[in-house]
Amino acid sequence: MENTLKNYYQLKIIPRTKHSISRKKISNNTLKVLYSLKKAGYEAYLVGGSIRDMLLGKQPKDFDITTNATPEKMRKLFRNCILVGRRFRLARIIFFSEIIEVATFRGNNFTFESNKNIKDTSIISKHGMLLQDNIFGSIEEDAQRRDFSINSIYYNIVDFSLRDYTEGIKDLQQGTIRLIGDPETRYREDPVRMLRAIRFAAKLNMTISYETEEPIFRLSILLNNVAPTRLFEETLKLLYGGYGKATYKLLRKYKIFQLIFPLIRNHITNSNESYIELIINKELCHIDQQLQKNIKVNPAFLFAAILWYPLLEDTKKLIFEKKISYSNAFFLSINNIINKQCHTLAIPKKIIFYIKEIWKLQLSMNYYSSKNNSNLIEHPKFYIDYDFLNLRAKVANNIEVQQLSKL
Ligand code: ATP
Ligand code: MG
């Protein structure tokens, strides 16, 4: 397999007069950290999503800094600093209203020809996955270790110029998501990069280049090796980033949605019109709209909707297998389904609590809308109409919880 180091591009330096990034767009705390590092004699750059977004005329979500100061040196330099991260060691500089993450330049610490060449602090799994990546390097190496060319543009605090090692500016102008280095190697190192490619393509309305896209179809299965906690966080970013509907479309294209939610594999259709798919589409539209209005949304509802049919199928199975009542089977299945889903996504306890409450509400709504209990097995709807939004608010406020437990 090819080593990513072989793919060096010609460095392009863009002076301040030739780009649009002004210090006015950068938060004061970020500037403080950059200037402090510079004053202490270190190199300091703003890099990643903030540069990408500012060049696209968007407001950055957060500011990431990279430097040649080691995390330990940063801890000495900043009083308000903590070190975090097992896989990537990072310094977090804590301000009253903002946290700035500062990473030390990352080195190219391995070859893929043989695992014997790996230095002590990097560990690679048998699938080529990078389990630890703590070797420090130069800015040139750091640029090659980043995921996409558009995320690897550096803003130099010394003269406010941009440094582009990977033709990121060209890709940004052309609207192309392109992995740096050999795509297959980079996906094997970290399969989450497939999800990131999809997320940025949807969010920025860009196209994933052919070389970056092609391996996704073959390698998506590697996502099964990603820790469920990380996969849950990434799934939230995918579906709750304000571009959930567009992201969902791409996740379906690459057959990744069913990898994240294996329990609904059988409900995914080419026409995208099964009842569950209609609900997912509707809910994602709603979530996107709410987020655009800066209204917070509770992730539990979408999860409850996605897993509603697997829950009913399991309930039905238990009724026939164990010869128990509908409600007993339903409550047993709630735990079954949550446990099964948590093998891929580690859903936090608080969200699980809400999912369960929503399901119990669904059961009661179905119960009251059908005269005969057996109808529940044949026609159980997942309520998503406008009235249900009010119920949702009640769930969030815990108002119904006590009443429900009496049902
Ligand atoms: P946003 O914060 O808007 O979601 P971002 O690009 O800033 O997008 P972060 O997760 O904040 O994403 O990461 C910051 C930077 O770190 C990225 O721009 C990229 O350069 C690098 N990076 C993040 N995750 C990876 C990864 N899995 N592999 C390689 N580089 C990565
Ligand atoms: Mg970021």
Residue-level pLDDT at 339: 98
Residue-level pLDDT at 136: 86
Residue-level pLDDT at 173: 97
Residue-level pLDDT at 32: 96
Burial of 288 (0-12, 13-18, 19+ CB in 10 A): buried
Q: Which residues, 6+ apart, have CB-to-CB distance to 208 below 8 Å?
A: 176, 177, 197, 198, 201, 216
| 336 has pLDDT over 90 | yes
Taking residues 222-250, what's their average pLDDT? 97
Atom of ligand 1 at shortest range from CA of 152: 20
Q: Is 147 in the pocket of ligand 1 (CB under 6 A)?
A: yes
Q: Which residues, 6+ apart, have CB-to-CB distance to 338 below 8 Å?
A: 307, 347, 352, 355, 356
Residue-level pLDDT at 360: 86
Q: Is 62 in the pocket of ligand 1 (CB under 6 A)?
A: yes
Start and end residues for every CATH 3.30.460.10 domain found in the chain: 12-180
**What band does 190 get if pLDDT is binned at 50, 70 and 90?**
very high
Q: Which two tokens stand for residue 210?
A: 């052919």
Report d(CA 94, CA 84) in Å as an integer.
12
Report d(CA 275, CA 306) in Å as an integer.
10
End-to-end CA distance of the chain: 60
Residue-level pLDDT at 148: 98
| 262 has pLDDT over 60 | yes
**What band does 401 get if pLDDT is binned at 50, 70 and 90?**
very low
Residue with the bigger pLDDT between 370 and 153: it is 153
Least confident of 53-62, 69-78, 95-104, 114-123: 114-123
Q: Is 51 in the pocket of ligand 1 (CB under 6 A)?
A: no
Residue-level pLDDT at 350: 93
Residue-level pLDDT at 407: 35
Least confident of 90-94, 205-209, 393-397: 393-397
* Cα Rg of the chain (Å, integer): 24
Q: Is 106 in the pocket of ligand 1 (CB under 6 A)?
A: no
- CB atoms closer than 10 angstroms to residue 121: 13
Give the residue from 404, 327, 317 showing the smallest Cα distance to 361. 404
| 381 has pLDDT over 70 | no
Taking residues 329-338, what's their average pLDDT? 96
Edge to edge, the sheet with strand 153-156 lists 12-14, 162-164, 153-156, 44-47, 64-67, 99-104, 90-94, 81-84
Give the residue from 401, 402, 315 showing the smallest Cα distance to 357. 401
Fold topology of 256-405: cca-adding enzyme, domain 2 (1.10.3090)
Residue-level pLDDT at 204: 97
Residue 385: active-site member: no
Q: For 91-124, write each residue's pLDDT tens digit.
A: 999 999 899 999 999 987 543 333 333 343 456 6
Taking residues 46-53, what's their average pLDDT? 97
Residue 157's SS3 state is: coil
Residue-level pLDDT at 134: 62
**What band does 371 get if pLDDT is binned at 50, 70 and 90?**
low
Output DSSP code: residue 255.
T
Q: Which two tokens stand for residue 108?
A: 């190219």
| 368 has pLDDT over 90 | no
Which residue in the list 53, 133, 147, 171 is annotated as catalytic? Answer: 147
Residue 64: active-site member: yes
Start and end residues for every CATH 1.10.3090.10 domain found in the chain: 256-405
Strands 207-208 and 176-177: parallel
Residue 182: active-site member: no
Q: Name the residue of 88, 98, 146, 291 whose CB sits within 8 Å of the most ligand 1 atoms, as the mutation to test its pocket.
A: 146
| The domain made up of 12-180 is a member of CATH 3.30.200.20 | no
Q: For 123-181, write each residue's pLDDT tens digit.
A: 666 676 765 556 788 999 999 999 999 999 999 999 999 999 999 999 999 999 999 99
The per-residue pLDDT of the chain, averaged, comes to 86
